Amino acid sequence: MIYRYLNAVHLQFLQESVIKMGKDRKKKIDEMSAVLHKFYHGDTMVIPRCWTKTIDGVNLFEWAYTPGVAEACREIIKDQAKVYDLTDKSNRVLIISNGTRVLGLGDIGPWAGEPVMEGKALIFNFLGGIDAMSLSLKTKDPDEFINIVKNITPSVGGINLEDIKKPDCFYILNKLHNELEIPIWHDDQQGTAAVTLAAIINGLKVVGKKIEEARFVIIGLGAANTALMRMLIPAGAKPGNIIIVDSRGILHRDRFDIKNGNPRNGEEEKWQYAKITNLKCLSGNADKALRGADIAVSYSAAKENSVNSKWVKKMASRAIFIAGENPVPSIWPEDLRRSGVEIVCTGRGDYPNQCNNSLIFPAVFRCALDVRASKITMEMTVAASKAVAEYQEKKGLCPKRILPSMNEVGVFIEEAVFVGMKAIEQGIAQKPMNEEKLRKTVESKISLVRNIIKSLMKEKLIKKYK
């Protein structure tokens, strides 16, 4: 009895220490973020990529601008596709947002959302070798947003939509995807869903369960989980084994409050899921849904601690819980582990198993640009999930390591090649190439940026904060 009591006291002490360390680290990250953003005046800059000294008697300004630049213009007049060869369009992505749904902060506007967009541009650049720039729009009108994007596409090879509120994000993505012939991507939908599917694939391998037999609980049906549902069933999950919980409770075929919902608000799709999921027609809230569940995925607008530890304890043995809300999850990882969950994932970078869409979008855009894909398809997105999962499986799987980290450059190369070959297979690549050539192209683009940054830091042209 004394031994058991001492063990319990020791375990409680360790858990409290971990929680304190987590809170202390969060505070330090927050403080350093404010300091470093001010020190560097943002995350990115634009620099020349060409030789700036005289070449064969012709100086930079003569060939790059007037009078020589006119010849490049004439080439494009004769063949518009040459804009990809004669400008940076082939490697340029715009990150476009109106700041209406930024991280867990909500509608903070385009000015306050700009640091997030710049951070995204940094990740595009460093992890994908892509010349990305942020563009924050001062409009909440989705049709005006769409019109602006359609009119700036001559300058860019791809568009990454970011932090746009639901349901506008669905409407904007669908319309642009159908009307433009360059890759359009909404990272809060496709990127988050893809990395979550990768976590599910590997998590199930660790706990020894099959996707077609697993019971799923999906908490929240916003951008991320709606996109996940579009991928989860094709990946093998049985609709009847999935229970979805929205802000009004569990979806089921008697939820007539959503039957005649507005398609633009996403309720038409929600009604379709209500009819095919939840085979036993359970009603109630997340408490009831989590009973016996093998996997729970939470991407909701609910507040901190909106998921109760007591509910989690009713999940199946060897359960997986993905609390993806960021920066504040619906339930903290420490509480999930105390409740007996075997595999815990979050959207935060200061915990193991971060479900970070940054593992997905740099590689997806890298390959889309290199093979000049006209679209980013569902098949390409699923291919990205599988590539990430397979990469980590080769490295080794354990409960605290089911996904690679963003520091592993290899995952982005393998993923880009895998997804690029899928685009070629689908016949949507305007610049197809064999796997060996694609790999060399991807490696060179990514290593170029990393080597430039490394050189600038070595020469102290990028200063280290002290």
Catalytic residues: 65, 120
Q: Rounded to an integer, what distance in angstroms lies between the CA atom of residue 300 and that of residue 290?
A: 15
Strand order in the sheet with 295-298: 249-250, 242-246, 216-219, 295-298, 320-323, 343-346
Residue with tokens 């940094």: 122
Residues 6+ apart with CB under 8 A from 310: 287
The full length of the chain comes to 466
Residue 354 per-residue DSSP state? B
Q: Which of 126, 260, 116, 272 is nearest to 188 (CA)?
A: 116
- DSSP strand E in 314-416: where? 320-323, 343-346
User: Helix or strand or coil: residue 379?
Assistant: helix
Question: Is the four-CA dihedral 36, 37, 43, 47 of positive or negative sign?
Answer: negative
In angstroms, how far is the first alpha carbon of the chain from the final one?
A: 52
Q: Rounded to an integer, what distance in angstroms lies between the CA atom of residue 257 and that of residue 252?
A: 11
Residues 6+ apart with CB under 8 A from 384: 194, 198, 360, 363, 364, 415, 418, 419
C-alpha 228, offset from chain centre: 12
Question: Which tokens sit at 115?
Answer: 């640091």
Q: Rounded to an integer, what distance in angstroms lies between the CA atom of residue 332 and that of residue 345?
A: 10
